[in-house]
Structure 1
Amino acid sequence: MNCLGDSITEGYKNREISWADKIEPLVRAEKINKYGIGGSTVSDYVDEHPMCIRYSEMDDSADFIVIFAGNNDFTRSVPMGEPNDTNTKTFYGALNTLLSGLREKYPNGKFLYVTPLRMWNYAHPKWNEFVEYDKKNKVGKTLKDYRDAIISRCEYYEIPYLDLYNEGLYGRTEKTRNAVYIDGLHPNDEGHNIIASKIAGKLKMQ
């Protein structure tokens, strides 16, 4: 199984242990390949290890491919573009490149795209204020706009998705945030357990 993502998949602030490490016994995978890099975006609008490029370097023999991405495209204000874009400097264009490329690379593979988690009072170094999922970024988009784009392209490429934007980790109050998050974005160990269970449940349906 290949797990492509950002700092959440990397296990940032959680001893580099993430949902990808915890899912192995749940799905009885022979091997888990973690391709999580902190700050990674889908688009190459910014030079942050873009997934629309580095997916091609993943293990060719994987039978399951999980993509968990989009938070950094929102925080780095990647332009949305249009649904049929091929320009990877836009979010739609990068999604089209990534998803069509994965379909070609793994013609018999099974896929799952995990939408971004909501952000709750998260202190991002490139924002002048705390980031909330419903605030607009520098190009006037909310995190939901990126989530909606992901679902649109997944449906086009017939790729199943898990909507963690709406069914992820709740953190509206300090108590609920502290139960599953480290900082309002990155899950703690229990948060990763919950995510692993949700992803495993979705994979078992395929």
Structure 2
Amino acid sequence: MQTQYYCALGDSITDRRNQLVAKWYYDWLAEWWQLTKTSVLAVSGATVSAEFDSMAQFCQLIPAGCDTITLYGGINDLGRSQPLGQLGDTAPTTFYGALDQLLVRVLQAHPDAAVYFISHVRIGNAFFPPVNQLGLQQADYEAAIAEVTAAYGVPHLSLYHSWLNFADPQMAAQYSLDTLHPNDAGQLAIAHLIDDFVRAQV
């Protein structure tokens, strides 16, 4: 890996301040990639869209000089019933529009960085219900992420379509705290999935 300065942007799955685990996915990556510097910008409960600590807003705090950036989000847009919108939206009040803003801002501010979007594993129903107040499911937001990232040529690691599945009770017990947040084993598993994906792109 040629990465020297990595920035991880995200929500509670990335936010070290919530002290859910002893070691986070980016800690593993820092070791494996032998990084000289890592920055973490994450807010528990953050959505991509505008209403709750929008990632489309605080992405503007990503430091200059980062050469690898991961944007790990979207699950709170499901859980907090954010409007989906449609491809072509640019208003931050819909998920499609805010995701468009997020990618545009990051790509314009960091044109030389490798940027990856990570969507979360398939979740169970212990933390968020499987259908939100708008009648939308995780798969709906997942499809939106796939469309918008493809439109901008941003590699999308869909953990939703990976082997890791918190909707499976046995797997949730082994890798998650509450069928949404990964435990230490889950963070390590996610780190391996990110590492494999990034190495396949370079």
What's the TM-score, normalizing by structure 2?
Answer: 0.91
Distance, in Å, in 1 between the alignment partners of 2:163 and 2:108 is 30
Q: Partner residue of 1:31? A: 37
What code does the residue aligned with 1:154 have? T
Distance, in Å, in 1 between the alignment partners of 2:167 and 2:137 is 17
Confirm or deny: 8 A CA contact 1:52 1:97 kept in the other structure.
yes
Counterparts of 1:1-206 in structure 2 under 5 Å?
A: 1-11=6-16, 12=18, 14-15=20-21, 17-44=23-50, 46=51, 48-124=52-128, 131=129, 135-205=130-200, 206=202
Distance, in Å, in 2 between the alignment partners of 1:92 and 1:82 is 6
* SS of alignment partner, residue 86 of structure 2: coil
Confirm or deny: 8 A CA contact 1:2 1:33 kept in the other structure.
yes
Q: Following TM superposition, by how much is the alpha carbon of 1:138 offset from its aligned partner in structure 2, in angstroms?
A: 1.3
Distance, in Å, in 1 between the alignment partners of 2:70 and 2:176 is 21
Distance, in Å, in 1 between the alignment partners of 2:142 and 2:103 is 15
What code does the residue aligned with 1:14 have? L
* SS of alignment partner, residue 204 of structure 1: helix
Distance, in Å, in 1 between the alignment partners of 2:136 and 2:182 is 24
What's the TM-score, normalizing by structure 1?
Answer: 0.89
Distance, in Å, in 2 between the alignment partners of 1:149 and 1:78 is 13
Deviation per CA, 1:87-131, whole angstroms, max 9, x where unpaired? Answer: 10000000110001111011111011111222113234xxxxxx2
Please, which runs of 5 or more residues in structure 1 have no aligned partner? 125-130
Confirm or deny: 8 A CA contact 1:13 1:186 kept in the other structure.
no
Confirm or deny: 8 A CA contact 1:53 1:98 kept in the other structure.
yes
Please, which runs of 5 or more residues in structure 2 have no aligned partner? 1-5
Distance, in Å, in 2 between the alignment partners of 1:158 and 1:173 is 31
* SS of alignment partner, residue 196 of structure 1: helix
Q: Following TM superposition, by how much is the alpha carbon of 1:17 offset from its aligned partner in structure 2, in angstroms?
A: 3.3
